[in-house]
Structure 1
Amino acid sequence: MAELLEESKVAEHLATLPEWSREGAEIVRVYKFSSYMAGIDFVSQVAHVAEEANHHPDMLVGWRKVTVRLSTHSKGGLTKLDFALAKKVDGLVG
């Protein structure tokens, strides 16, 4: 099981993900799309990647945007799992 990261490690990992920001015990990114359905397709892709990783983000679907929030709920904060999944999700949009 992944362990909570120290603040210095969180900062190091976050520096490798320039479009993500930290909000409390989560990392967050808003993805923008050309259409509502493109965002829905993205959510489906994220769901498959998350299921493979057995690590599930919170997602909010809006008009032409999807907000992804990652945290290791069972640990109450950020672990390596969150940053690994963030990179995989970023890879879905190129």
Structure 2
Amino acid sequence: MKPELLSASTVQHHLIPLPGWQVEGAELVKEFRFTSYLAGIEFVRRVAVLAEEMNHHPDLLVGWRKVTVRLTTHSVGGLTLLDFSLAGQISAVEAAPSNLT
């Protein structure tokens, strides 16, 4: 079953509990900053595990001590509950302690 595309008002409602996330076009986007390059890479590894479990894969741009995450549901051409669910899980990964700083 194909996920349902969310209306603009529903998207805004689901953004409320996700500080730092923004809508850019048909994508949900957030830039995460880290104290080291390796901490960013560990974050990407942890996000990749979540993405595989959900079979919903973000675009990840790795830079020096930062990672930009872009979420969209390509099959419907926009944002769905899958994107917001994964964004919430990614935010939890960011808050979880890491031994790489």
TM range (shorter): over 0.9
1:40-59 residue pairs with structure 2 within 5 A? 40-59=41-60
2:11 corresponds to 1:7: no
Give how far 1:19 is off. 0.8
Separation of aligned partners in 2, 1:18 and 1:32: 14
1:1-94 residue pairs with structure 2 within 5 A? 1-94=2-95
Query: Identity of aligned pairs, percent?
Result: 60
Q: Secondary structure of the equivalent of 1:66?
A: strand
Q: Secondary structure of the equivalent of 2:6?
A: coil
Deviations 1:17-47 (A, max 9, x none): 1210110000100000010011001101000
Q: Which TM-score applies when normalising by structure 1?
A: 0.97
Q: Secondary structure of the equivalent of 1:61?
A: strand
Give how far 1:6 is off. 0.8
Q: Which TM-score applies when normalising by structure 2?
A: 0.91
RMSD of aligned residue pairs (Cα, Å): 0.6
Give how far 1:93 is off. 1.5
Q: Secondary structure of the equivalent of 1:55?
A: coil
Kindly name which structure, 1 or 2, has the bigger radius of gyration based on alpha carbons: 2
Give how far 1:62 is off. 0.2
Moved over 2 A (4+): none
